[in-house]
Each structure stands twice: as C-alpha cells, then as structure tokens.
C-alpha cells in the first residue's frame, strides 16, 4: 500500500504534468501577444517562508527536507514540477494535521522512533565524513596488500554436459579439429554456453575442487579429459595463465573507503555502547507474536 503522503503527492504531480498536455490539445494554435509579467526572484534561505497555514509557517528548509524523502519515481521529475507539488503536499499535510489537533499516541510513538533514526543517521554521517582521508586510505591499503604475494590466475572455458559419454564425444571432436567455442555454444548446458563457454579469469578457491584440480594440472592451450562435478561433466580448455600482483591503490580506493567508514562507525558505536547505561529485560519472556499486535500502539491510559 502506498503511503498517504505519496498518494497526495501523486495526485498533485499528475495534475501538474497534465497541464502542458492539455494546453496543446486545442483546435488551432493561437499566438499570445501578451508579454508575461517579470517575476522578481527571491534570495532564498532555509528560513524563507513559502506558505503559512493558519499561522504555521512552511519554510524552504521544510520543502528541501521533504524532497529528500521522496520515492525514486518523483526524484526524477524536473524541479519546476517538484517545487509546487511539494509545497502543495506540505500545505495539505498542515491542514490535515491541524484538523487532527494533538498527535495520537500511535503517532507520538512513531515520531520518537523517527527522531532516534534521524539523530542516529546524523551521527553516522558525522563519523564517516572525517573517516576517509588519504592517510587512512594508504594505511588500509598497506595493511591489506603490503605483504601480498602474486597469485596465479587462469583463463579458461568449458563445455558442460549431462553424461560422460557426451563429454568424450566432444573431446574427440575437438581433437579432430572442432572449434571449442562453437561446440560450447551448441552443446553446453551451462550459462556460459552462449558465450563459447568462456569463464574469464579466476584464481584458486573460486571453482569447485574437481574442476580446480584439473585446471591446476593443465598446460596453456590444453583440453582436458571429461571432469565430473556436482553440476555434470565438463570439458575444459585452459586458454592461458598469469601471475597477478596486488592491485593499485586507485583500483581498490572505493572498496577501502567503504571498509574505513564501516570500521569507523563500528568503533564509534562500541565506544558509545560501552559508556551507556543500558538495562534490558529477558526477551525470552515475551511472546514474539506481540511484534504484530497493533493494539499495543494505542494509549491504554
């Protein structure tokens, strides 16, 4: 089910987007000779009041914050469509909220959770904003790759079939001059068949053991005898091998940045948890079905 604010915004946006189309749907174009009046542009700040509803101000900061929470389909709309749509949404929300008066107990509970979530997200943003530095990236790179030994990588292709006899027939065809890639496209039941059986580059530990063991014993350009794995029977062609050293810092920069940010948040959270006074009850005494009891959101006072 769509959230109610999304339903309201959808109606507003649909009306706004329909206007240009409706304007085009006329019997004959007419030339408008009336010059549009010049609009004085406003120097906008976050405190700029966009609308006032029964004394409650809606500022530009409220509009920007509302845009940040829009579903993806609305985020793609042009700003000149979004701006009036969001303002209208906030006006309608203000009217509806004022008509409600005091927040219900259910709404207060949800608001408390949302405040916790927003505050937590702000803290996470604060932690990660200063975590990724050139020094931190270099240290993380050195820790992970400074002692890395070159690893052997293999480029291979295979043909996967259901029976050993079929695999033997294919080996004989290849030895007789048959094209490996064409035979893979015609006979392989694996997902790489349409691509000529190409498996790309891989290293030790990335393939199932019988397959890996066979590749390790092969020479470049060789075709294996039939090899059985849990997937079926394979005919393998080893294209070439290479020794690959550690990647450059630029190649793994994004990966390292994610790890640095994650570690920083984990460390900050541990520090805060260790310093906090936390009291819990034993969850074993609570029926897990209570998680779905919506009546618990009601005020029983």
Domains and CATH numbers, the chain: 45-101 (1.10.8), 111-148+255-275 (no CATH), 151-244 (3.10.50.40)
Q: If you write DSSP's letter for every residue of 151-185 in order, what string do you get?
A: EEEEEEEEEEES-HHHHHHHHHHHHTT--HHHHHH
Contacts with 263 (C-beta within 8 Å, 6 or more apart), sequence order: 131
Size (the chain), residues: 301
- 45 by Cβ neighbours in 10 Å (0-12 / 13-18 / 19+) ranks as exposed
Tell me the pLDDT of the chain (301 aa) as tens digits: 345 555 555 555 555 444 343 333 444 455 555 666 777 888 889 999 999 999 999 999 999 999 988 988 888 889 889 999 999 999 999 999 888 888 889 999 999 999 999 999 999 999 999 999 999 999 999 999 888 888 899 999 999 999 999 999 999 999 999 999 999 999 999 999 999 999 999 999 999 999 999 999 999 999 999 999 999 999 999 999 999 888 899 999 999 999 999 999 999 999 999 999 999 889 898 999 988 998 888 876 6
The model carries a pTM of: 0.58
CB 259 within 8 A of CB 140: yes
């Amino acid at each position: 089910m769509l959230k109610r604010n999304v339903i309201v915004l959808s109606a507003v946006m649909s009306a706004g987007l329909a206007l240009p189309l409706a304007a085009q749907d006329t019997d004959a174009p007419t030339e408008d000779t009336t010059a549009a009046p010049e609009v004085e542009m406003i120097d906008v700040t976050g405190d700029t009041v966009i609308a006032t509803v029964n004394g409650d101000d809606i500022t530009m900061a409220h509009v920007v914050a509302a845009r940040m929470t829009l579903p993806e389909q609305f985020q793609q709309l042009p700003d000149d469509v979004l701006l009036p749509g969001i303002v209208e949404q906030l006006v309608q929300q203000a009217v509806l909220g004022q008509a409600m008066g005091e927040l219900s107990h259910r709404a207060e509970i949800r608001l408390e959770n949302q405040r916790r979530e927003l505050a937590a997200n702000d803290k996470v943003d604060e932690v990660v904003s200063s975590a990724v530095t050139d020094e931190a990236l270099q240290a993380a790179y050195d820790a992970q790759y400074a002692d890395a030994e070159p690893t052997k990588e293999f480029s291979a292709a295979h043909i996967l079939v259901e029976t050993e006899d079929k695999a033997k027939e294919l080996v004989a065809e290849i030895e007789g001059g048959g094209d490996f890639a064409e035979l893979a496209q015609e006979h392989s039941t694996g997902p790489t068949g349409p691509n000529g059986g190409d498996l790309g580059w891989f290293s030790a530990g990335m393939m199932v053991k019988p397959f890996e063991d066979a590749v390790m014993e092969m020479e470049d350009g060789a075709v294996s005898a039939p090899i059985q794995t849990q997937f079926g029977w394979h005919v393998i062609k080893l294209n070439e091998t290479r020794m690959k050293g550690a990647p450059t810092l630029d190649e793994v920069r994004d990966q390292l940045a994610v790890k640095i940010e994650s570690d920083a948040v984990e460390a900050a959270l541990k520090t805060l948890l260790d310093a906090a006074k936390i009291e819990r009850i034993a969850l074993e005494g609570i029926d897990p079905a209570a998680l779905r009891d919506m009546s618990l959101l009601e005020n029983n006072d």
